[in-house]
């Protein structure tokens, strides 16, 4: 089984839309997104533009669907789709549950609500080397003090936990995590406290917005963020997307669900390879490829060879 993975905020880097494969399907996707949003999405990947969560989130969805469509143009359709955080919107489009245009508009609204709620002073930190239980134990002593509290935002791997909170709280927590044995405790390139109760009101507003968005049953497997299981009902996928800014993303569980369903090839859409690295470490028997690591337009040929049995794990 072939699964496409779509990264979330933190994967972006300046110019990443301009590093997409030079293919007609990619160009058409960029043009379509520009028409839907009434702006040139090719300008969303500058260093200045990427300071905005709105630009980052929209650009990541555009990049994910551009790659999905590039592979589809070569006759390569993924059997399953999963995305981390905002990447879940690209996964919903790829699975056929949501139109690209509606996803773009919903993601733009998502970014607006998040930025309005916390225009500055908040973000995320990645903690590597501690388990979820160990991170929870470090959070508990300060949980009753709002200015110092952090929240578990993502469980990306058994020992890769992302926490959300104010800048001051994150800096203090990074020091505590390092003292407790974390290999790394580092702020991420995210300017909002994603996936925690701080975004409850913003999530409620997005739920109301999504009421009028058309969802349908997926034509391929969609793995949700919140419960990390395959979702089939349109209402469940709508809820998963509209509320994922408020709840912990259980990415490792989602990855495990793909493997349990028989995934033998994982491809991470641009621009990063964090999801690829997690998959390779946790499931070395499964081939995981990062689209961003292939120059020009080689990925489609590599995936095709792998799916037809002509590409070995050692290649």
Integer CA distances (angstroms), 112 to 10, 108, 170, in order: 17, 6, 23
CA distances, 120 to each of 20, 49, 115, 193, 246 (Å): 30, 16, 8, 10, 18
195 as an active site residue: the answer is yes
Q: Judge whether 289 and 303 are in contact, CB under 8 Å.
A: yes
Whole-angstrom distance, CA of residue 184 vs CA of residue 315 = 31
- Active-site pick, 125, 191, 195, 292: 195
Positive or negative: CA dihedral 292, 124, 47, 184: negative
Reading the block at residue 244, the tokens are 């994922």
Beta strands in the chain (DSSP E): 2-6, 80-83, 122-128, 150-157, 160-166, 184-187, 221-223, 230-231, 265-268, 287-290
What 8-state DSSP symbol labels residue 1? Answer: -
Options 53, 81, 85, 125, the catalytic residue: 85
Cα–Cα distance between 281 and 276 in angstroms, integer? Answer: 9
List the catalytic residues: 85, 195
């Amino acid at each position: 089984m072939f699964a496409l993975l779509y990264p979330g905020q933190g994967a972006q880097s300046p110019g990443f839309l301009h590093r997409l494969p030079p293919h007609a399907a990619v160009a058409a996707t960029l043009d379509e997104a520009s028409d839907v949003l009434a702006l040139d999405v090719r300008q969303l990947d500058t260093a200045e533009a990427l300071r905005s969560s709105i630009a980052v989130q929209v650009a990541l969805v555009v990049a994910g669907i551009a790659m999905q469509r590039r592979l589809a143009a070569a006759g390569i359709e993924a059997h399953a789709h999963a995305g981390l955080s905002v990447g879940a919107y690209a996964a919903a489009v790829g699975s056929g549950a949501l139109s690209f245009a509606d996803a773009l508009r919903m993601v733009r609204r998502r970014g607006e609500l998040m930025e309005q709620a916390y225009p500055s002073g908040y973000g995320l930190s990645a903690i590597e080397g501690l388990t979820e239980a160990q991170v929870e134990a470090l959070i508990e002593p300060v949980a009753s003090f709002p200015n110092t509290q952090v929240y578990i935002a993502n469980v990306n791997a058994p020992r890769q936990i992302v926490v959300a909170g104010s800048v001051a709280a994150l800096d203090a927590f990074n020091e505590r995590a390092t003292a407790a044995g974390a290999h790394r405790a580092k702020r991420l390139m995210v300017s909002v406290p994603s996936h925690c109760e701080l975004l409850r009101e913003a999530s409620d507003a997005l739920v109301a917005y999504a009421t009028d968005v058309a969802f349908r049953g997926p034509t391929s497997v969609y793995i949700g963020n919140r419960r990390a299981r395959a979702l089939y009902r349109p209402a469940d996928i709508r809820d998963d997307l509209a509320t994922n800014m408020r709840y912990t993303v259980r990415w490792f569980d989602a990855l495990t669900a793909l493997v349990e369903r028989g995934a033998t090839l994982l491809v991470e859409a641009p621009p990063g390879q964090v999801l690829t690295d997690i998959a390779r470490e946790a499931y070395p028997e499964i081939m995981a490829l990062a689209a961003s690591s292939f120059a020009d337009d080689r990925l489609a040929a590599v995936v095709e060879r792998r799916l037809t049995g002509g590409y070995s794990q050692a290649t």
